[in-house]
Structures are given as C-alpha cells and as structure tokens.
C-alpha cells in the first residue's frame, strides 16, 4: 500500500513539474514570439499615406453657394459647409466624415430635390432622406475625379465639367447610365434640345432663347458662331443670361454685355480690379463679385456690384465686403455672398468661420508647449483638440502683421519680426513683438529690419538686424530680466558686422556667438568677428554637445566644439548621427524633432516624400504638398503649410485588446478575462466583438456587446467537455468600417496550480 501511495505522490510531483516546465516553455515561446514581433517593428518599413494615415486640409477659400430652401451650402477648400438659415449655425462636412472631397467646387439641386456636389473627389449626391452617394472613376462611368461645374437638365440629366473646357465632359442620365463627350461643344450639339432647358445657372454653358453659349462660342441648333467682344483679351470666367435674355460675360478685369446685336463694356470705377464671380437675380439684375481698389491708397472699397443695362454702372449700386468675393447667389431674400472663410447674409450680417484659418497660410509653427500657430497675414493660434473631426477645431486671431522673422521660445512665447509696406515709400521696419501668454507685447526700440531671431532661453533673445539707410547690420541681444512686460530692467547689446552678404542668421551656444549670411559663417571672439566658412548660410542649428549644424541648402556643414569641420547630406547626418540631431531644439528647415523622438525630414531627391526616422528605422510618406517647414505636434501629428494648412494623422480606427494573452484552464472550468476596444483618433463607431476559432467543447461569452472605443467587456470562457491541449483563438472586433483581431492562446490541462504559476492561474 505504501508503494502505491509513493508512486501516486511521485506521479503528482511529476505532473506538477511537467505542467510547470510546459508552462515555462509556453511563456518562453510567448517571449520569443514577442521579441520577434518587436524586432520586426524595429526594421525599416516604407509606408504610404494610405497605410492608416489621412491628410486633412484647412483652406480658407470659398467657391460656390447653393440654396435648398432650408440650408445654404458653401463649397470650400475645407469641405462642405451646411448653413442652417433658421438657426444661423453651421456644420462642416469633410473627408474625415466620409466626404470624398477636400475642396467642393460646384453644386446644384435637381427637380427631385437631390443636392449634387462636385469637387476634387468626383461627384456626390445627398438625397432628400439625407443619404449620400459618391461617384468616381473607380465605381462609375464619370470621366474624371475632378468636377468643377454641374448643369441640371429639366429631365434630371446631369452634365459635369472637369476643369479645362477642352477636356472630356461627363453626363449622368436619369436611368443611371453615363455618357462621356470629348468636349463641351460636342455635348451641346448632341443634347441641344435638353440643354436648352437647363434648370440652373452654371459654369458649363448659358442659354439665351434658342442659343447655347459656351464661352464666346454660340450654338443655334445647327451651327456654331464666334462672338468675342472687341475688347476681350481672354476666355470668359463665366457667361450668364438675365431675364431679358441679355448675355453677360465676365473676364478677369472686364465685364461685357450682349444685347442681341452688339457688345457693351462695363467700367466699375476701380483703379485695379479682379473679378471672380457673376450671378443673375429674378429682376434682370446682374451681380458681380471680386476685388476692387478705387485708388492706390484706398483700404475700404466696394467688392460686390449690382449692374443693369447701363454700361457705366450708374444705375446699379455696390456693396462693401472683404476682398475677394468668390461666390454670389441671389435669392428672394436678397444677395448671399462669400469669400475666403466668410459668409454674408442678405441683411449684411457677416460670419467668419472659426474652424478654418482666415486666409492664405504661409507658415505654421508648433512650439515646445504644443501650441499650433498659423501665420497668414494675421497671427492665429489653432486648436484641433487632437481629433480627426473638424467640428471641434477653433482658431483665434491674436494680431495682424507682415512678418520678416518668427521664432518660438522655450516657454511657449512667440517672437515676431515685423515690417510695414507702403506703395509711396520704402518698407519700414517695425519693433519686434512678443506673444507672451498669447498677449501681445510690443518692444519700444527699432534697431532695423529683423531677418532672424534666436531664443537662447525664455529670458535671452538674439536678433539679426539691418538698416536700409545707413547700411548697418549685425546682432542685437536682449536680456529681459525675466520680466517680459517690463522694459525698465532690460539689458541689450549690439554686435555690428561688416559683410557683403544678405539674409543674416544668428545662433548662440555655450558662450559662442555665430552669425551667417550669403557671404559665409562668422564667430564672435576677441577682438571681434572671424570668418569660419565662406559657404552661403541658410540656417544655424546648435546641438546639445556644443556643435553647430550649418544649413548650406544642399548639405550640412558640421562645426565640432573643437572647431573641426566636416560635411554631410541631411539624410546621411540623420542616419549616422541620430542622437546628436535629436538633441537640437531650434526650429529649422532641415529637420524636425518630434515629441516621440523621431526625426522628420524631406527626402531631397523626391519632392513629396517625407521621412520619419526613429530608433527602429524609417517610414516614408508621400505627401500632397511640400512646405518649407515640417511641424509635429504633441500628438505626433504632422503639419505642413502651402497656402492651405495640412495635417497628417492616423486614420480614425480602433484596436482590439484581450487579457490575459495566455489562458491556463482545466476541463469543466469557467474563467473570466477582459476585452477592450482602444480608440485611434477619437473613433466613434460601435464595435461588435466575437471569439473565433473556438475548439470543440469551449464556449465564449462577451458582456456587454457591442462596445464603443474606450470601453471594456468581460470575456468568459467555459471548457465543458474540452479536450486537453493548446489552441489559438481570436478575438475580433467588427465595426461599420473595419475589422480587427487579436489572437490569444488557451491551454487545457488536468489541473491548474495557483501557487506554482500565479501568472497563468485560474481566476
């Protein structure tokens, strides 16, 4: 009996050790697999923006107005704005909401009440039940994914223009069939009777009685005639017909009208004008919008004109609106108008949309505190909340300036060098300003035109200056005493320099003062300035170890702390000396160091390839634009500026997590774990969770289900009747847009010993 007991106890011990060794082996394999996975993430990877990235564009331009009675629709460079007339509020629909267009250029309403929109993503329809349908070259017979004009026939036929009038034109019939015409004139000739009954004014053609006008070419049903005005110098931007069948043509600086026999040219009293848009109202009046300068010195001028058949314009009147006026729409309530980021209602109420920059974005700056600054003739701070949607974006205007230099300080301040332009005198240098806690501080002294600013720290700032009149230039240092708004304790010094170069640049590191311009690089010492290099200097970037990286445009000059010099390409320097590049903090054109430690830079041989180099290698992204600076915010979103403001961020998505990753269960057992849905870029769709690849005898339950991003559910596994051994299961999450999975392992054993393997013990 004793021997049997001993054998049984020995068997138990053997089983315990077998289970322990087997589990340790599993954990070791999990570690190895994890290590391999981690290593694969460290290897060089090349990605395109389609690989989980999305580009969002903010652009101030407005292109078209469309009235569906309840709403006024505004086609913009930042998607589509829906203006609710009753509440005077707006909703922006953009690419992150599923709209295929970054820019919406055209719109129309058909007789059934469907709203049609064209832009740089093809054609879109919003029906009366608020359902969207999108047409492009991959899912329809449309000839091009760029639509800048829509004409609607009385029978429901749509015609679309795709840019140049000589390009193919597309037509969508009421039965859903498509036709493509080699050009606009062919479309008119083959559909003359239908086109004569076009419902809307449009940019494809204009109908005057039995004549269809395509620019200055006129089709009467059998032949084409040319009717170009004698004073014309280009093709018209648009041709419209008023209620008296008078034809109006708009060129860049001219307005013509055709009364059936002859042309008349209109003069609007502008010293300089640029017309953008024209529309007709119900009372034979014509509206023209654009920009007008009544004299070389005028600031406030009319930019909307109401014309009648009097060629000198005296019987019409003008309205004041910010230039340029780019869209007009007469309604029963009056004239609606729009321009860069503004909407004017018929009663004159102006609305400036806060979720888009106010004008052309020349630069964007992300400072060390995470604030995004926009420079566009004004200084704005822009807050996108770090989310993909544009609905919560807000821009705040801090001031209006013509800038010569910009530099963020370590404490979040922004320094601005300024200049004032006048058509009567030479440009005038203005004192620099400093935005401290977003309040403007103007410094009282004018040293000259500021070309560059270097912020050594929050207290010490350096400026390069030059004076037009005495041809003096150099560096000005400022120590504000730690009191930005108090000038009385400021200490400053001048370091004049005589060079033949232009475009001064300054940097300071470890007590060394550097100056660079087109004539070379200089270091200040005893007794004064000494030239270090004769290369044209485009930028100076100190590193933490005291070395200096000199931007030579096509290469980098490296000045070591001991004075040694060497040269490298930007890419080779970042590749071979990543830690030292990472230690630089100054904003520069060569690279940008992101908060996560990655270095972003442009690949020199490819105009639109943006590279991210981190510890694990590089990722390469194809960009829609290339800008002078690359900025990366605290969310590691990339910002570019080229007139529009661009952001590259992960596509809104979700990830599935399951815990634990290794389940050790005995047969006829129940155990609980967790399933979590993590959000990427504020993902909002519900996710249905399932467990796949369940072995025989194993069941799974998930409660609650479905989940929203950020929520956690309880995963319960039951092993009633399960066979011994290991299985690989999968937790899958499925939303309306995506499906993602996460594998985990189940090991079914005779018994689980909590004391030996607490990591994998049953719950």
Residues 644-671: tens digit of each pLDDT? 999 999 888 899 999 999 999 999 999 9
Question: What is the DSSP-derived secondary structure letter of residue 16?
Answer: H
Residue for token pair 């679309």: 160
How far CA 601 is from CA of 438, 598, 634, in Å, comes to: 29, 10, 17
Q: For residue 35, what is the enclosing H or E element?
A: helix 2-42
Tokens for 695, please give them: 């072995």
Question: What is the DSSP-derived secondary structure letter of residue 386?
Answer: T
Alpha carbon distance 119, 104 (integer Å): 4
Sheet holding 178-181, edge to edge: 149-152, 158-161, 169-172, 178-181
3-class secondary structure, 1: coil
Residues of the chain with pLDDT under 50: 1-50, 314, 755-763
Q: Is residue 303 exposed (0-12), middle (13-18) or buried (19+ Cβ within 10 Å)?
A: buried
The residues near 51 (Cβ < 8 Å, ≥ 6 apart) are none
Cβ contact 419:429 at 8 Å: yes
Alpha carbon distance 422, 626 (integer Å): 31
Question: What is the DSSP-derived secondary structure letter of residue 643?
Answer: B
Is 194 within the bounds of a domain?
A: no
Is 755 within the bounds of a domain?
A: yes
pLDDT of amino acid 252: 87
Alpha carbon distance 300, 726 (integer Å): 79
Tokens for 760, please give them: 């994998």
Phi, psi angles (nearest 5°) of residue 710: 95, -10
3-class secondary structure, 77: coil
Alpha carbon distance 694, 532 (integer Å): 72
Tokens for 604, please give them: 């020199």
Closest CA to 351 of 102, 136, 87, 597: 87
Cβ contact 156:198 at 8 Å: no
Is 660 within the bounds of a domain?
A: yes
Peptide bond into 286 cis (omega under 30): no
pLDDT of amino acid 426: 67
Closest CA to 746 of 677, 673, 638: 673
pLDDT of amino acid 609: 92
- Please indicate, yes or no, whether the overall pTM of this predicted structure exceeds 0.75: yes
CATH number of the structural domain spanning residue 740: 2.60.40.10
Tokens for 372, please give them: 């995004």
Beta strands in 697-738, from DSSP E residues, in sequence order:
699-703, 712-718, 725-734
DSSP lists the bridge partners of residue 92 as 81
Alpha carbon distance 389, 681 (integer Å): 9
HEC sequence for 245-259? CCEEEECCCCEEEEC
Is 734 within the bounds of a domain?
A: yes
pLDDT of amino acid 48: 43
**Tally of domains in the chain:** 1
Question: What is the DSSP-derived secondary structure letter of residue 564?
Answer: -
Look at the chain and count its residues: 763
Alpha carbon distance 331, 112 (integer Å): 20
Tokens for 12, please give them: 């138990």
Q: Which domain holds residue 742?
A: 2-45+653-760
Gyration radius of the chain's alpha carbons: 34
As a dihedral over the C-alpha atoms of residue 75, residue 81, residue 87, residue 89, rounded to 10 degrees, the angle is -130
Is 701 within the bounds of a domain?
A: yes
In this structure, is the dihedral angle defined by the CA atoms of residues 285, 291, 293 and 297, taken in order, positive or negative? Answer: positive
| b/e 533-552 (16+ beta carbons within 10 angstroms → b) | bebbbbbbbbbeeebbbbbb
Closest CA to 507 of 587, 389, 420: 587
Cβ contact 522:514 at 8 Å: yes
pLDDT of amino acid 640: 97
pLDDT of amino acid 714: 97
Is 35 within the bounds of a domain?
A: yes
How far CA 577 is from CA of 72, 450, 573, in Å, comes to: 55, 33, 5
Q: Is residue 238 exposed (0-12), middle (13-18) or buried (19+ Cβ within 10 Å)?
A: buried
Q: For residue 492, what is the enclosing H or E element?
A: strand 491-496
Is 684 within the bounds of a domain?
A: yes
Alpha carbon distance 458, 438 (integer Å): 15
| b/e 464-503 (16+ beta carbons within 10 angstroms → b) | bbbeeeeeebbbbbbebeeebeeeeeeeeeebebebebee
pLDDT of amino acid 98: 87
pLDDT of amino acid 368: 85
Cβ contact 451:539 at 8 Å: no
Tokens for 304, please give them: 């909307």
Q: For residue 214, what is the enclosing H or E element?
A: strand 211-214
Closest CA to 689 of 733, 652, 657: 733
Is 639 within the bounds of a domain?
A: no
| Cα atoms in the 13 Å half-sphere on the side-chain side of 325 | 29
């Amino acid at each position: 009996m004793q021997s049997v007991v001993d054998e049984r106890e020995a068997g138990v011990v053997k089983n315990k050790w077998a289970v322990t060794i087997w589990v340790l082996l599993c954990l070791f394999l999990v570690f190895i697999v994890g290590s391999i996975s981690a290593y694969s993430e460290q290897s060089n990877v090349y990605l395109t923006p389609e690989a989980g990235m999305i580009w969002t564009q903010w652009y101030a331009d407005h292109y078209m107005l469309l009235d569906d009675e309840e709403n006024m629709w505004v086609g913009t460079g930042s998607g589509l704005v829906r203006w609710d007339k009753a509440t005077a509020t707006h909703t922006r629909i953009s690419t992150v909401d599923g709209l295929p267009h970054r820019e919406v250029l055209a719109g129309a309403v058909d007789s059934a009440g469907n709203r049609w929109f064209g832009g740089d993503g093809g054609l879109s329809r919003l029906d009366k039940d608020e359902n969207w349908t999108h047409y492009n070259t991959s899912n329809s017979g449309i000839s091009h994914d760029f639509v800048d004009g829509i004409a609607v026939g009385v029978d429901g036929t749509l015609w679309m223009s795709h840019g140049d009038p000589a390009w193919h034109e597309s037509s969508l019939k009421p039965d859903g069939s498509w036709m493509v015409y080699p050009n606009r004139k062919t479309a008119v000739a083959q559909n003359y009777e239908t086109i004569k009954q076009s419902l809307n004014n449009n940019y494809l053609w204009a109908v005057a009685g039995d004549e269809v006008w395509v620019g200055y070419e006129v089709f009467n049903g059998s032949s084409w005639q040319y009717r170009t005005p004698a004073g014309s110098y280009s093709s018209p931007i648009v041709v419209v017909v008023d209620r008296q069948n008078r034809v109006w043509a708009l060129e860049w600086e001219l307005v013509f009208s055709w009364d059936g026999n002859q042309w008349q040219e209109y003069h609007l009293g502008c010293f300089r004008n640029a017309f953008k848009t024209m529309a007709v109202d119900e009372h034979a009046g014509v509206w023209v919008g654009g920009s007008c300068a009544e004299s070389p010195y005028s600031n406030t001028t009319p930019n909307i004109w109401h014309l009648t058949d009097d060629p000198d314009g005296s019987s019409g009147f003008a309205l004041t609106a910010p230039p340029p006026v780019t869209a007009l729409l007469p309604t029963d309530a009056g004239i609606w108008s729009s321009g860069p980021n503004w909407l004017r209602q018929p009663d004159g109420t102006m609305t400036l949309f806060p979720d888009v920059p106010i004008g052309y974005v020349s630069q964007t700056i992300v400072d060390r505190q995470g604030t995004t600054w926009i420079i566009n003739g004004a200084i704005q701070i822009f807050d996108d909340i770090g989310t993909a949607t544009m609905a919560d974006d807000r821009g705040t205007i801090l001031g209006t300036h013509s800038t010569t230099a910009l530099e963020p300080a370590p404490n979040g301040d922004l320094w601005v060098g300024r200049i004032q332009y006048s058509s009567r005198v030479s440009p005038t240098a203005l004192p620099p300003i400093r935005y401290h806690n977003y309040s403007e501080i103007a410094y009282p002294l004018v040293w000259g035109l500021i070309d560059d600013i270097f912020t050594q720290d929050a207290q010490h700032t350096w400026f390069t200056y030059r004076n037009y009149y005495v041809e003096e230039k150099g560096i000005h240092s400022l120590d504000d005493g730690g009191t930005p708004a108090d000038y009385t304790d400021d200490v400053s010094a001048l370091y004049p320099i005589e060079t033949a170069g232009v475009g001064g640049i300054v940097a300071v590191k470890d007590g060394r003062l550097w100056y660079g311009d087109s004539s070379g690089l200089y270091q200040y010492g005893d007794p004064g300035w000494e030239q270090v290099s004769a290369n044209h200097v485009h930028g100076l970037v100190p590193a933490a170890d005291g070395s200096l990286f000199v931007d030579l445009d096509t290469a980098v000059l490296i000045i070591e702390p001991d004075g040694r010099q060497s040269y490298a390409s930007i890419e080779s320097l970042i590749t071979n000396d990543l830690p030292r590049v990472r230690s630089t903090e100054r904003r520069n054109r060569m690279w940008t160091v992101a908060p996560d430690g990655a270095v972003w830079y442009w690949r020199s041989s490819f105009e639109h390839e943006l590279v991210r180099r981190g510890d694990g290698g590089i990722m390469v992204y194809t960009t829609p634009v290339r800008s002078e600076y690359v900025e990366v915010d605290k969310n590691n979103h990339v910002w570019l500026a080229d007139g529009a403001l661009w952001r590259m961020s992960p596509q809104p998505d979700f990830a599935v997590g399951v815990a634990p990753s290794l389940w050790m269960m005995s047969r006829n057992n129940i155990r609980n774990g967790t399933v979590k849905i993590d959000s990427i870029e504020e993902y909002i769709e519900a996710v249905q969770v399932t467990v796949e690849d369940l072995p025989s005898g194993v069941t799974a339950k998930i409660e609650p289900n479905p989940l929203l991003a950020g929520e956690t559910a309880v995963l319960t596994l039951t092993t009633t009747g399960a066979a011994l051994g290991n299985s690989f299961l999968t937790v899958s999450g499925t939303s309306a847009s995506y499906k993602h999975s996460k594998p985990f392992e189940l090991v079914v054993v005779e018994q689980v010993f909590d004391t030996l393997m607490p990591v994998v013990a049953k719950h």
